[in-house]
Structure 1
Amino acid sequence: MGILSLSDIANDPRVRRQGDALHQAGWSVFGVGLPGRPAPQPAWKIFTEPELSYDAEPQVPSSGARLAGMIRRVRSRFKRVPLARKLWSVVRAAKRLADLLAIWWRPEHAQRLYWTWPEPLQLYRACQGRTADIWLANDWITLPLAARLARECGGVYVYDTHELALHEYSERLQWRLFKRPVIAAIERAGIQGARHVSAVSNGIAATLKAEYGLAQLPTVIRNMPSYQEATFQPVGSSIKVLYHGILVPNRGLEEAIESVRSWRSDLCLTLRGPGNAAYLDALRARADALGVGDRVIFAAPVAMTDLVSEARRFDVGFFALPGHSRHNRYALPNKFFEYVMAGLALCVSDLPEMSALLKEHDLGVVIPDTCPDTIAATVNALTPASIEGYKRNALRAAQELNWDCESRKLISAYDALVDDVRRMEV
């Protein structure tokens, strides 16, 4: 099994869990991803290609290699002149715009455009000389790569999507005009050839089936941590609320910080995760300006293998995700299950996938909308007694909502696929 991901695999919860589950089931597994932060390495090998030495599709035909080299040298000298650099940037921007617009009437153009992007080429280069019975494409961005490797190196490819890519940033007009057509064209072409498709939630699976006319509903494999036994932790004198995950815009973080102004004095919020330095500074400045800098704590990110154990120090797992897109409405994120495994009460947005599971197991409370006043009212409604009840429920639910149980669907599907492929080869 070759697992492909445009991410730092050692710190990517879903991708790492895929490899761990397959390795433990007796598969020979390797991952191909991007370099990243130091982290405990899995028992299976991860390959990366730290440097790019070209900016065009690999394997340039030998007859054109000399001409291609001459063009690169001329272009390099041209760009050293200040005015020429400005003109060159305008030309490149115009070309990118033309490429994106062309996809509106020629979707197949997206495939050619894909192989001009440096990251897929980086992964392609790291895959050279490797073979696999199955290539696992994580998210739409690796679908063309997986298809190409299956053609060139043998095997078949499968697709696992962590997001509803067609609607991920649909609240942004620019994204709908220029990025969505690219994603739609690439995902449509790749998903049709995938021998198995999986998604993280029921809503995403149903949307993929409808959008692309799939014969079968994608398998829902939720993104849960492995089971870790934990003991109940009572609430102390201060109620500690945790958000952990990537710190980026459009996750309701600004509204959450603003809401802290109206939280009870026994409540405080910790934000833990990686993020752009400028954005983190802006969040800190916002907290200070609102007078809650002492009650909004910014904690350093931890390795994905430590997320659950570090979360146990808290009382409430928090995520006020805005419901402004189908992507967000169908979200069932890692952190939901990590909070459960840590034995926390949950306080999350009232979005279909999260709220249904929360209510099924009585794990906490839902936030009707992401207005700061609404967030504050929801958080303030939590009492030490209710939090402790939800924490006990979470520990019980964790015995069911864990990767040890959920990964059986992944192993079963890929075992069956390998059997089918080998029967066809006989």
Structure 2
Amino acid sequence: MPRPSLLILSFSPIVGDARVLKQVELFRRDYRVTTCGYGPAPEGVEHHVRIPDDVTSWVWEPKLVITHAHPATYWWNPAIRWARAHLGRGEFDVILANDVEGSGVASALRPRRGFHADLHEFSSRLNEQDAGWNRHIRPLFEWMVRRHVRRAASVTTIGPAIAAEYERQFGLRDVRVVPNAAPFEPHLAPQSVGETIRLVHSGAARRERALEQHIDAVAEAGAGFTLDLYLTQNTTPYFEELRARAARTANVRILDPVPYSDLVRTLNGYDVGLFSLPPITFNTRWVLPNKFFDFVQARIGQVIGPSPEMVDVMAPWGFGVVAEDFSTEALARAVASLTPEIVAEQKRRADAAARPLSAESVVQVWKDAVDAIAGV
């Protein structure tokens, strides 16, 4: 029996998108996988449709947005329009559409057996702290969910609270959860802890992440601690502010990002992952990010803010410390509470959690959903 054809569609550079790469790895053996996204082809696919770099995905025609002409706004988007034009209608058995933007294209392409929608966050509330977003962009994304995502045969997202909100607000049924867990790293083990505890953070230099608090907290904790930040988007004014702030400390450095394929091994050389995200939006309140799971696979401890879903996952394993609140002072106290002995125990507990909290333990949800659509 020939393998079904599967299109994995994502308006992202797929080779750097950890979540989409897990989808490729999961399906490439049992399906004839085509990917469509930015950048070069990921390994293991039969075909890759590369969206040109100058065909922008995150832009909307202002006049259409302001008048709430949602269908016209959606199909005006350059990347959405390009993907629809360059992918064959009825060509694929199944489409796995990433995020709400991909769902409309998937529906229009009429896959022979249907499509699955993987919603990475709660899309319509991504920038809800901005009044202009709420007035103009939020209604567009809500329309995308009602118009396109509802046509999906099945839906997944990244965390329980987000899944419940999609069901409550939009009437989606049985939204299942695939956390942003990292692949299991069988060859890594906890490293010894020295007298100076080495903290690390990896991610994007975005102002809403309040990374200045991370810098100030470790500086305040004192000479027994260091912090290295591996930051992407390092051409922004905010990045320059962070770099200047770190330069004024004796124990904080900002370093160039490493490829995702090397990230967990790089993190393994540290002691503690640091991440506290102020809950300024629905998505940041219910954050359960890649880096949380990357730290587990790296077999290092963690200091986190009191984000409910991160705390819920951490609690049974005990591989970290939770700050009392999201202030710099609370984060500094949490860091200062660490000793080499505490961190060594956190590392042992992270090692015990590595397999149960790995991607391999959760991606079967995608496999079951797509196999059901394909009828295999």
| TM-score where L is the length of structure 2 | 0.91
2:305 and 2:331 in contact (8 A); partners too: no
- SS of match in other structure, 1:323: coil
Deviation at 1:99, TM superposition (A): 2.2
Q: Within the alignment, does 1:378 sit opposite 2:334 as a pair?
A: yes
- Provide the C-alpha distance between the structure 1 equivalents of 2:300 and 2:243, rounded to a whole number of angstroms: 25
- Provide the C-alpha distance between the structure 2 equivalents of 1:403 and 1:96, rounded to a whole number of angstroms: 38
| TM-score where L is the length of structure 1 | 0.81
In structure 1, the partner of 2:74 is 114
Deviation at 1:263, TM superposition (A): 1.5
Q: Deviations over 1:50-97 (max 9, x none)?
A: 2668x9xxxxxxxxxxxxxxxxxxxxxxxxxxxxxxxxxxxxx9x944
Q: Within the alignment, does 1:194 sit opposite 2:152 as a pair?
A: yes
Query: What pairs up with 1:69-148 in 2 under 5 angstroms?
Result: 96-103=61-68, 109-128=69-88, 131-148=91-108
- SS of match in other structure, 2:48: strand
Gapped regions of structure 2 (runs ≥ 5): 1-5
- SS of match in other structure, 2:80: helix
Residue of 234, 241, 245 corresponding to 1:282? 241
Q: Deviations over 1:279-301 (max 9, x none)?
A: 3222112333xx21x42212222
In structure 2, the partner of 1:28 is 32
Tell me the amino acid that sits aligned with residue 121 of structure 1.
R
Higher mean C-alpha deviation, range 117-126 or range 270-279: 117-126
Gapped regions of structure 1 (runs ≥ 5): 56-92, 104-108
Q: Within the alignment, does 1:183 sit opposite 2:141 as a pair?
A: yes
- Provide the C-alpha distance between the structure 1 equivalents of 2:207 and 2:104, rounded to a whole number of angstroms: 29
Deviation at 1:275, TM superposition (A): 0.7
Against the structure 1 CA distance between its residues 385 and 8, is the aligned structure 2 distance closer, same or farther, given a 3 Å change threshold?
same
1:19 and 1:30 in contact (8 A); partners too: no
Q: Which runs of 4+ in 1 moved over 4 A?
A: none
1:362 and 1:390 in contact (8 A); partners too: yes
Q: Within the alignment, does 1:411 sit opposite 2:367 as a pair?
A: yes
Tell me the amino acid that sits aligned with residue 374 of structure 1.
A
In structure 1, the partner of 2:178 is 221
Aligned identity (percent) is 27
Residue of 130, 139, 158 corresponding to 2:116? 158
Q: Within the alignment, does 1:46 sit opposite 2:6 as a pair?
A: no
Tell me the amino acid that sits aligned with residue 46 of structure 1.
H
Q: Deviations over 1:281-338 (max 9, x none)?
A: 22112333xx21x422122222222221111011111111111222112211111111
1:136 and 1:160 in contact (8 A); partners too: yes
1:169 and 1:325 in contact (8 A); partners too: yes
Tell me the amino acid that sits aligned with residue 101 of structure 1.
I
In structure 1, the partner of 2:18 is 13
Tell me the amino acid that sits aligned with residue 173 of structure 1.
A
Q: Within the alignment, does 1:272 sit opposite 2:230 as a pair?
A: yes
- Provide the C-alpha distance between the structure 1 equivalents of 2:79 and 2:251, rounded to a whole number of angstroms: 39
Tell me the amino acid that sits aligned with residue 281 of structure 1.
E
Deviation at 1:191, TM superposition (A): 1.6
Tell me the amino acid that sits aligned with residue 21 of structure 1.
L
Residue of 311, 332, 335 corresponding to 2:291? 335
Against the structure 1 CA distance between its residues 154 and 414, is the aligned structure 2 distance closer, same or farther, given a 3 Å change threshold?
closer
- SS of match in other structure, 1:250: helix
2:114 and 2:373 in contact (8 A); partners too: no
Q: Within the alignment, does 1:2 sit opposite 2:7 as a pair?
A: yes
Query: What pairs up with 1:256-267 in 2 under 5 angstroms?
Result: 256-267=214-225
Against the structure 1 CA distance between its residues 227 and 204, is the aligned structure 2 distance closer, same or farther, given a 3 Å change threshold?
same
Against the structure 1 CA distance between its residues 14 and 6, is the aligned structure 2 distance closer, same or farther, given a 3 Å change threshold?
same
- Provide the C-alpha distance between the structure 2 equivalents of 1:101 and 1:220, rounded to a whole number of angstroms: 34
Q: Within the alignment, does 1:235 sit opposite 2:193 as a pair?
A: yes
Query: What pairs up with 1:167-182 in 2 under 5 angstroms?
Result: 167-182=125-140
In structure 2, the partner of 1:70 is none
- SS of match in other structure, 2:118: strand
Bigger radius of gyration: 1
Q: Deviations over 1:108-138 (max 9, x none)?
A: x212111212222333344248821111111
